[in-house]
Amino acid sequence: MLQSKLFTKTRKEAPRDEVSKNAALLIRAGYVHKEMAGVYSYLPLGIIVLKKIEEIVRKEMDAIGGRELVLTALQRKDVWEKVGRWDDNTVDVWFKTNLKDGMELGLGFTHDEQLVNLLTEYVHSYKDLPLYLYQIHTKFRNELRAKSGLMRGREFLMKDLYSFNATEKEQDEFYEKIKIAYMNIFRECGIGDITYFTYASGGTFSKYSHEFQTISDAGEDTIYVDEAKKIAVNDEVLNDEVLVGAGLDRKDLVVKKSIEVGNIFKQGTKYTDPFGLQYQDESGQKKSVYMGGYGIGVTRLMGTIVETLSDSVGIVWPESIAPFKFHLVEILGGGDAHKVKESAAELYKALGGDDIVLYDDRDLRAGEKFSDSDLIGIPWRIVVSGKTLEGGMYEVKNRRTGEVKMLLLQDLLAI
């Protein structure tokens, strides 16, 4: 993409009310626009990153049998009264609104009840199970404070998968699969090394739930980490029983601040029974359906990646989700401007063009272009200038390591 055609420009400063590092960097670099606290629009650069993260998540969910659907934001009161979660005193993050005739509606902060209600029309027999259904869609949560940028939004993108199994054993098997799928996702997104499978409270069926926590000083959680075993315990359940269950020893643990990037819950029949979501087994007997819920905040994941991988001058995207692989920067001063432009345009094509390269064709000084490039955080910066033309080589900088090399075209194409 030509950088002159991106309407966004980098900014020296984030809005004054933006206190989180992730949102400040994403705003300054032109990925997102802040509408109000916890509410961000996604600009063209941001959309590209978001779609790449979505594709990683989708691939892993499909691989374990997930089927995609899209549920609605507007929620019926009667559906949420079934398990007692309509009341604002029980759920304190509802946004509520009204139809013209006065009927109250909610905006989905999660979708357990709606999906279970929907499935009562489709699930009747053991033949209809198991089911693994997921969506990647907007959630609304009326957070009292929303100061963590993309990490705690009032309107945000979430992947939520729900499992429906005939037996506990079958659910347990799926639970093991999704653990692996989640770690695959975090690894593919570049934060596998600093993300821990974590024991946590909140299981409504099993005693505990599990979270995936990414080490970060900006995190709202506190976890105790066994770095060798790659397992952590949330401080809310740090007790001897959990430690024995997890095979951990208190003396091996170090305390860290962390961001919850994913959670997985066995929900048992808490939601399915009140809706009468049951199946007939092979002998014709009615049985309860076991349910599980598995979330990843997709925009929170994007925020976490920025929060943890950026450096003092800007964002450092892993190549898997970077908006472009190459940032091609032409420097016209000090050379034959026409030749430099010609060479840059040729290189743009050779490297793969629009989807692969952000081409800084703007009429700006080298210093400005370089600091923009550091801020935007594309993995490989390539400089084309009078100097590089003379030597017949390109100057290539690795954004993460800072290493600079002079490369021939053939070596550049092999990166």
Closest by CA to 103, choosing from 77, 80, 85, is 77
Q: Are 307 and 19 in contact (CB under 8 A)?
A: no
Q: Cα(106)–Cα(275) distance, rounded to whole angstroms?
A: 19
Select from 128-136, 326-334, 397-405, 407-415 the region that touches its own copies (CB under 8 A): 128-136
Q: Which is nearer to its own copies, 123 or 248 (CB)?
A: 123
Q: What is the dihedral of CA 235, 240, 245, 248, to 10 degrees?
A: 70
**Residue 221 touching its own copies (CB under 8 A):** no
Angle at 183 between CA 202 and CA 66, to 5 degrees: 80
Q: Cis omega before residue 323 (within 30°)?
A: no
Report 83-112 residues binding its own copies (CB under 8 A): 95-101, 105, 107
Interaction between residue 2 and its own copies (CB under 8 A):
no
State the burial class of residue 5 (Cβ atoms within 10 Å of its Cβ: 0-12, 13-18, 19+): exposed
Q: Rounded to the nearest whole angstrom, what is the least distance from the CB of residue 58 to its own copies in the complex?
A: 11
Binding mask 180-219 for its own copies (x = CB under 8 A): ----------------------------------------
Asked if 120 interacts with its own copies (CB under 8 A), we say no
Helix (H, G, I), strand (E, B), or coil: what is residue 320? coil
The DSSP secondary-structure symbol of 289 reads: P
Q: 266 by DSSP, 3-state: which?
A: strand
The amino acid at 329: V
| Count of residues of this chain found to bind its own copies when the rule CB under 8 A is applied | 54
Q: Does 67 bind its own copies (CB under 8 A)?
A: yes
Interface residue with its own copies among 69, 350, 404, 408 (CB under 8 A) is 69
121 binds its own copies (CB under 8 A): yes
Among positions 35, 193, 227, 249, the unique one binding its own copies when judged by CB under 8 A: 35
Binding residues for its own copies (CB under 8 A): 4-9, 33, 35-36, 39-44, 46-47, 50, 67-76, 95-101, 105, 107, 114, 118-119, 121-123, 127-128, 131, 133, 138, 140, 142-144, 154-155
